[in-house]
Amino acid sequence: MATCRILDTWDDFLRFWAAAASLPPPAQADLWRADYMARYPELLRKQADDYTSQGVDWRDIAADRIFPRLPERLPRMQAARDRLPHVCVSIYERARATLDLDFDVLFVIYVGIGCGAGWATRYEGRPACLLGLENIAEEGWHTREGLERLVAHELGHLAHMAWRDEWDEFAANEGDPLFLLYSEGFAVRCAEAILADEARPAHGDATPSAWWAAHRQTLAAEFLRRVGSGEAVRDFFGSWYSVEGRSQTGHGLGREFIRHLERERPLRAVAALPVAEVRDAARAFLRGAGGGGARG
């Protein structure tokens, strides 16, 4: 029977922080790598590679945006860490029941350098959810409900990867903004199923419905315009960015896309659509949602 396991690095982080708290941020970043992350080389490599792929030096991000804010975020990080073991097991069991997950999952609780509150990937050769306490605290997702939404969303990503039988390919496909819209929307829909309440906002989809109704066409048209011009769409997804004054609007737009696809097929069939079909369907959906005037 499929099970989950938890790798909790919090105690190692606290030992590092006891030595690093009084240092300037650049020195903290160096010690984070040499002390804390030295115990978890695969975790270090994943984070460093993520920034390298964006053309960014992780040390600059860590020294500027992460370590200066850790002191104020420590209480929320501690609260999240204390709740996560129970939340991870509980939501995993609910995902097994609702999504029929048949694979083991490793949950990694760590303090990183801003690569995300949740990250669905492979770690130690198995499906894993990496849970970054620094971003969880930044987003205010340290409450039980916030953590449940987050974990359910990441398990949705893992289910999508498993049902497509894609792991490395899935991450590469997410470099295509139309596939990314599909991926994030699918995770939101899975989270709704796991949490068994469509009225309860899932991770990345906590925008008030009235605001969404007023901005839906604008968001769809702008997303499609950027796809057509080759511009980045990270403003729609990253928590450090925003479109129309709100972050992660791509999750809500993606959710609507998945609901659109579900009109003709069940969710599991939506998961397995060929990439070319996903791209064509996403373009058509965005044209319709954006009022029909945009071209991508």
Residue spans of the domains in the chain: they are: 1-168, 174-296
Residue 72: band (very low, low, confident or very high) from pLDDT cuts 50, 70, 90: very high
pLDDT(60) > 60:
yes
Output the CA angle 145-50-240, nearest 5 degrees.
50
Is pLDDT at 236 greater than 80 in this prediction?
no
Q: Is the pLDDT of residue 241 over 90?
A: no
- Determine the average pLDDT of the residues in 27-55: 96
**pLDDT over 60 (residue 155):** yes
In angstroms, the Cα distances linking 193 to 99, 135, 226 are 8, 24, 31
Q: State the helix-helix crossing angle for 249-261 and 209-229, rounded to 10 degrees.
A: 90
pLDDT average, residue stretch 35-40? 98
pLDDT of residue 203: 46
Q: Could you tell me which residue, 95 or 167, shows the higher pLDDT?
A: 95
How big is the chain, counted in residues? 296
pLDDT tens digits, residue range 178-199?
A: 999 999 999 999 999 999 864 4
- 237 or 108, which is more confident? 108
pLDDT at 30 over 90: yes
Q: Which pairing describes strands 105-110 and 118-123: parallel, antiparallel, or unpaired?
A: unpaired
Q: 242-255 burial by CB neighbour count: b if 16+ within 10 A, else e? A: ebeebbbbbbbbbb
- Does the pLDDT value for residue 214 go beyond 80? no
The predicted structure's pLDDT at residue 291: 52
